[in-house]
Amino acid sequence: MPPKYRYHWFNGFRARGEFPRLVLVASGVDYEDVRVERHGPEWDAKKPNMPGGTLPVLEVDGQLFGESVVIARYLAREFGLDGRNNYEKLLTDTIVDRIIQIRELLAGFMFQKDEEIKAVAQKQFLEEQLPAALNLIQKHAQENKCSGDFLVGDKLSWADLALFDMFEHILAFKPDALDNYPKLSVSFKRVPTLPRLSEYLKNRPVTRV
C-alpha cells in the first residue's frame, strides 16, 4: 500500500513552500494539500507539533519531516525526478543547490527595511551575484550534453522545477533575467506546458510569491 502524503504550508503565499509542492504535482502522486493560516489559532495549535516549529512539513503516513529542500529532494528521489543515473543525480543536486543560493541572496535584500541598504544590495544582486550564479547553472546544464528542453537528461527533473519556482518570482521584477541563458530559458518555458503542471498552475490559488 503506497504511503499517504500530506503537505503542510502556509496559506496566502508561495515562497520556499512552493518548490516541494511542484515536485508533488509533477510526480502525479495523490497528496493532501494542507494550507495553514499563518496568524491565528490554527497555526498556534499546530506549531508545537511541527519539526522546528515551522513549515513546510511533509507528512508521510503520519511521520513529520521538515525543511523545503530536504522534502523536495526526498520526493524527487522517490518518484524518479532526480536523474536516471548517479551522474545525472550529481548534476541535478548541483543545479538545485545553486538555485537555493540565489534564493538566499534574494532574501538577503528583499526583507531589508533600510531602503538605501536594500537598493545597494539589490543592485549587487542583479548586476553581479545573479549573473555569476546563472553562468554556473548554464555551464552545468550544458555539461548535460542533451539537446532537449530540460536541464539534465531528456526528461523533467527537480532541477527544472527549482528553476521554474525561483524565476517565477525573479522575472516578475527583472523580465530579461534569463535572456542570455538559452538553456535555462527553454527549461523555464517548458515546465508550465507539461500536463500535470499546466493543470495545477491554471487552478492554483492566487497568492503572493
Sheet strands side by side (includes 31-36): 31-36, 5-10, 57-60, 63-66
0.85 exceeded by pTM: yes
pLDDT tens per residue, range 150-172? 999 889 999 999 999 999 999 99
pLDDT at 107: 85
Mean residue pLDDT of the chain comes to: 93
> What's domain 5-79's architecture?
3-Layer(aba) Sandwich (3.40)
pLDDT at 53: 95
Task: Tell me what percent of the residues of the chain surpass a pLDDT of 90.
Answer: 80
Residue ranges per structural domain of the chain: 5-79, 86-193
pLDDT at 145: 67
pLDDT at 22: 98
Residue 137 pLDDT greater than 80, yes or no:
yes
Residue 77 pLDDT greater than 90, yes or no:
yes
Contact 137, 61 (CB under 8 A): no
What CA dihedral angle connects 132, 83, 16 and 193, to 10 degrees? 90
Contact 166, 102 (CB under 8 A): yes
CATH number of the 86-193 domain: 1.20.1050.10
pLDDT tens per residue, range 30-70? 999 999 998 889 999 999 999 999 999 999 999 999 999 99
